[in-house]
A and B are shown apart, each in its own frame.
Chain A
Amino acid sequence: MISTIKAMSWRMVVAAAAILMVPFAALAGTYNITVDPVVIDTGDFKKDGIGYNGASPGPVLRFKEGEEVTINVKNNLDVSTSIHWHGLILPFQMDGVPTISFDGIKPGETFTYKFPIIQSGTYWYHSHSGFQEPDGAFGAIIIDSKDREPFRYDREYVVQLTDKHPHSGARIMRNLKMSADYYNRVQRTAKDFFADVSKMGLGDTLSDRGDWGQMRMMPTDIEDLQGFTPLINGKGPKQNWTGLFKKGERIRLRFINSSAMTYFDIRIPGMKMLVVNADGNNVQPVKVDEFRIAVAETYDVIVRPDEDKAYTIFAASMGRTAYARGTLAPRIGMSAAIPKLTKSPRLTMADMGMAHEGMDHGSMAGMDHSKMKGMDQSKMKGMDQSKMKGMDHSGHNMPKKPAFYAPGSGLIPKAKNGGKFLSYGDLRAQRPLYKHRKPTREIELRLTGNMERYIWSVNGIKYGDAEPIRLKYGERVRFKFVNETMMTHPMHLHGMWSILDVGAKKWNPVKHVVSVSPGTTVHMETEVDAPGQWAFHCHLSFHAAAGMFRKVIVEGGPKAAMLAR
């Protein structure tokens, strides 16, 4: 009797141990990635490039929140490489930035990344060496949440965008250094001059040309890089990436912008999109007709096709020089009409607001300064003031909303169908990651550059000549980005979240890329809770390489994390 009980207990102990081990076995995956030379076929041209596991984009890595991942990366190139896990919170030695996180992965070597997954959502990974990322070295990451998501869907697709160019990244950098407008084929021509004369008259046209000529800047300077073929999941518009669906299904589209230089305005004619996630973090759902995705950002949307037909996913580059195109359809081989690209936008003097290097204000006769003052009145367009007599607005605790475009900017997006275009101001964290508190200090970072020399910098200093930014573990830093250039910069801080100030206090969205438009000042706050050293840079590949980059050193923090570096 006693021996039976003993045997049963023993078995129970073994069974209990086995059951306890199961979750550990499931939550520790090993993934193998090789970095290989590949050939990329865009449908317009073929180009040698770099891929993962023999292809570009690389494989979709799927992790579970709570998993301890081991990723073995073998370098089959003849140059050093690296992989950075964009948006992931991990120990700094695993962040994959050569000279900041580690020494890189030498040719023939295998480096093993090992870190716990403590978040969920859509992210991506890419090389942080040389120009390997524009040359094709990138892929997607999906992390499944341990909790139920606050939105329903029946199927999902990764929609990863890139701007593949017939020139290699190194060649593009060299060409831009030789001539900053090397790739700009939408410059103003004699035809534009005469069109303007008939529209504005000769005097105003000459005055306008004179104003821009004095600054030696161009209102057509929106895309540094043109001539690329935008791809969706590795397929060009002609190759038509297609995702299948059943009528009435909810589809989660995980948009990732893995471009080197290009912002895209995305819409699906005939279908509204419910934005539920931005930069990996859930946002309170907001329904839109169109949204702009900056370089390195991600947006997850839910769509619900209610007809048994094909829909076109249309991603027009911000400068309207090219488009990416995919299809959602009930069956393979179907396609819907492809919209035509609209006219290229132009920068205005409002975008030049702070780009005043060497400008002689006295002779700026053509500039209407009144347009550049705070335009609070126009923002109230949505509310018809005359009808609101009964409401005492002064009592409203409506915080002043930050502007993400200079008033009068030529870049302000409008939905093509007249509907709603997503703004940063619409984003609210579904679940704030941090308690809202006052920042411990503010750091101002002026985004600077010299377009003619193609030099890009922070506070007028290039990365190679700059001191690192030093932060203290435990502080909450408020970063103030002041864009003194006429380009839009997607600023990316590694290793720690960027809580974007949209005026919603504790509901401010938690992101990893903050896009700063010309002539604007944007704030974001970071809880400094990741020891070590981190990269902080503009994610436009050729701006980062030209100097718009900083090393961030976090001083202090738990001893365990301070392993020799």
Chain B
Amino acid sequence: MQGHGMQGQRMHGGSGANGEPGKKSQVNRTIKVEMHDNFYKPEKFSIKDGETIRFVVANKGRLVHEFNVATRKQHMGHQKEMMMMVEHGVLEPDKINHDKMMMKMPNGETMEHNDPNSVLLEPGKTGEVIWKFSKKVDLEIGCNVPGHYDAGMVSKVTFK
């Protein structure tokens, strides 16, 4: 199980207006999610304000997919980063090159991802995201592998 996230200030989806990383002990319920090419199953997510959800994410597709809880703006920014990962050979359609991820970028950081609000999974792998939702901001669950978000692999989180 690989979490992924960018360290330092550039990190998106850290604690803040869109909720915060959840504590395992406070999980209200578990939602099983399957990632296919290129969509989620289930497609709709309905959450109560303040709930801590444990998402168990399994990649049942043939390509690498991401399960990322963030605002639309954060997704847009992350798409640029993912595009760079593809250009540098870190991300292949069905493979994550972990060794390349560790290479330092010009700003001193690596492309290693270990954000608590998302998982980037190869086909067949499973990961977990535990997140405490707050109603304050519009959230989307989306995949920022280049092209996937635009193809429709994104779901609005509706608050009950």
Bound-state CA distance A392–B103 (Å) is 9
Chain A 278-298 interface mask (CB, 8 Å, partner B; 1/0): 000000111100000000000
Q: Decide if B103 touches A276 in the complex (CB within 8 Å).
A: no
Q: Residue B93 contacts which of A250, A302, A428 (CB distance < 8 angstroms)?
A: A428
A398 at the interface (CB under 8 A from B): yes
User: Please, which residues of chain A bring their CB within 8 A of the CB of B150?
Assistant: 274, 285, 287, 302
Bound-state CA distance A461–B152 (Å) is 49
* Count of interface residues, chain A, beta-carbon cutoff 8 Å: 28
A101 at the interface (CB under 8 A from B): no
User: Please, which residues of chain A bring their CB within 8 A of the CB of B93?
Assistant: 284, 428, 507
Looking at A153, A284, A387, A431, the one whose CB has the most chain B CB atoms below 10 A away is: A284
A-B contact count (CB 8 A): 60
A148 at the interface (CB under 8 A from B): yes
Chain A 240-280 interface mask (CB, 8 Å, partner B; 1/0): 00000000001000000000000000000000001010000
User: Please, which residues of chain A bring their CB within 8 A of the CB of B148?
Assistant: 285
Question: Do A285 and B147 contact each other (CB < 8 Å), given the known contacts A150-B38, A150-B39, A152-B152?
Answer: yes
A377 at the interface (CB under 8 A from B): no
User: Please, which residues of chain B bring their CB within 8 A of the CB of A397?
Assistant: 89
Q: Residue A250 contacts which of B38, B92, B105, B152 (CB distance < 8 angstroms)?
A: B152
User: Please, which residues of chain B bring their CB within 8 A of the CB of A430?
Assistant: 37, 63
Q: Decide if B89 touches A286 in the complex (CB within 8 Å).
A: no
Bound-state CA distance A396–B99 (Å) is 11
Question: Do A274 and B151 contact each other (CB < 8 Å), given the known contacts A150-B37, A396-B89, A428-B93?
Answer: yes
Q: Residue A274 contacts which of B88, B89, B147 (CB distance < 8 angstroms)?
A: B147
A362 at the interface (CB under 8 A from B): no
Task: Please report which residues of chain A, range 382-439, place their CB below 8 angstroms from some CB of chain B when the two chains form the complex.
Answer: 382-383, 387-392, 396-398, 428, 430-431
A151 at the interface (CB under 8 A from B): yes
Which single residue of chain A is at the shortest CB-CB distance from B145? A284
B106 at the interface (CB under 8 A from A): yes
Q: Residue A387 contacts which of B63, B92, B106, B151 (CB distance < 8 angstroms)?
A: B106
Would you list 5 pairs from A and B whose C-beta atoms are within 8 A, ordered by A residue? Answer: A151-B152, A285-B151, A286-B147, A287-B147, A391-B105
Known: A152-B151, A389-B106. 11 other contacts (CB 8 A): A148-B39, A150-B38, A150-B39, A284-B147, A285-B38, A285-B151, A286-B147, A390-B104, A392-B103, A428-B93, A431-B37
